[in-house]
Chain A
Amino acid sequence: QSALTQPASLSGSPGQSITISCTGSNSDIGNYNHVSWYQQHPGKAPKLLIYEVTNRPSGISDRFSGSKSGNTASLTISGLQTDDETDYYCASYTTFNTWVFGGGTKLTVL
């Protein structure tokens, strides 16, 4: 099971919106809505941002939103803030009854 594909890095300016893509296959993203997104600050455990493609857990800002089309899922962050500068990961359930992560995207807020 190969890792999901994310851009290694992205950048944006405060106030802008950015979208992080996560590309898989018919064995994972394309076959299930069990796609999730995580934010991880340095030295900290990851935090769940989005689950089941579009849902936000309690306490997560509505600046974070998720979507999916075919084998690609996306995380959009609107109104970029300096605190958004960190690493983001996607994950998906697979037809092998396992889970797989993306390689991670480092977001820079210029």
Chain B
Amino acid sequence: QVQVVQYGTEVSKPGASVKLSCKASVYSLTSSHMHWVRQAPGHGLEWMGMSADIGDTTRYAQKFQGRVTMTRDTSTNTVYMELRSLRSDDTAVYYCVRDFAWSFGSWGQGFLLTVSS
């Protein structure tokens, strides 16, 4: 039972912005926090931030403060993550993840972003 639908790849240039989307397929977004986690090639997992289940509450890792915005559209059951001022070290697989008891419960398939001139 796929809960988080996320797929695709994109190549962006340094300095550009990208907005990734993730659709909840089985449940309502208002029932769960949604996180974004990324993984650079050959590296570990890195928590970027989360969008709370109710209201517009968001929390971001200090590293991304001012450069990331996470939003959600309850009418389409979709969450978005916009990352600005892209750099080459933003090249990574970006995962959208449904929260489960303060952990990362259901993971999307991941979105590969390559930042290159």
**Contacts A46-B45, A57-B100 given; does A1 touch B105 at CB 8 Å:** no
How many chain A residues sit at the interface, stated as a range, is: 20 to 34
By the criterion CB–CB under 8 Å, are B107 and A46 in contact? yes
By the criterion CB–CB under 8 Å, are A51 and B107 in contact? no
Residues of chain A lying within 8 A (CB to CB) of residue B100:
48, 51, 57
A-B contact pairs, 22 of them (CB 8 A): A34-B103, A36-B104, A45-B107, A48-B100, A48-B103, A52-B102, A55-B101, A57-B100, A57-B105, A89-B44, A89-B45, A91-B45, A91-B47, A96-B62, A97-B59, A98-B59, A98-B60, A99-B35, A99-B47, A101-B37, A101-B47, A104-B44
Residues of chain A lying within 8 A (CB to CB) of residue B47:
91, 98-101
By the criterion CB–CB under 8 Å, are B104 and A91 in contact? yes
Q: Is A47 close to B, CB under 8 A? A: yes
Which of A34, A48, A93, A104 is packed against the most chain B CB atoms within 10 Å? Answer: A48
Task: Using CB atoms, name the residue of chain A closest to B63.
Answer: A1
By the criterion CB–CB under 8 Å, are A51 and B45 in contact? no
Residues of chain A lying within 8 A (CB to CB) of residue B11:
none
Contact bitstring B27-47, A, C-beta under 8 A = 1, else 0 = 000000001010000001111
A89 to B60, CA, bound (A): 20
Residues of chain B lying within 8 A (CB to CB) of residue A24:
none
Residues of chain B lying within 8 A (CB to CB) of residue A47:
107
A7 to B23, CA, bound (A): 35
Residues of chain B lying within 8 A (CB to CB) of residue A102:
44
**Contacts A1-B61, A45-B107, A47-B107 given; does A101 touch B46 at CB 8 Å:** yes
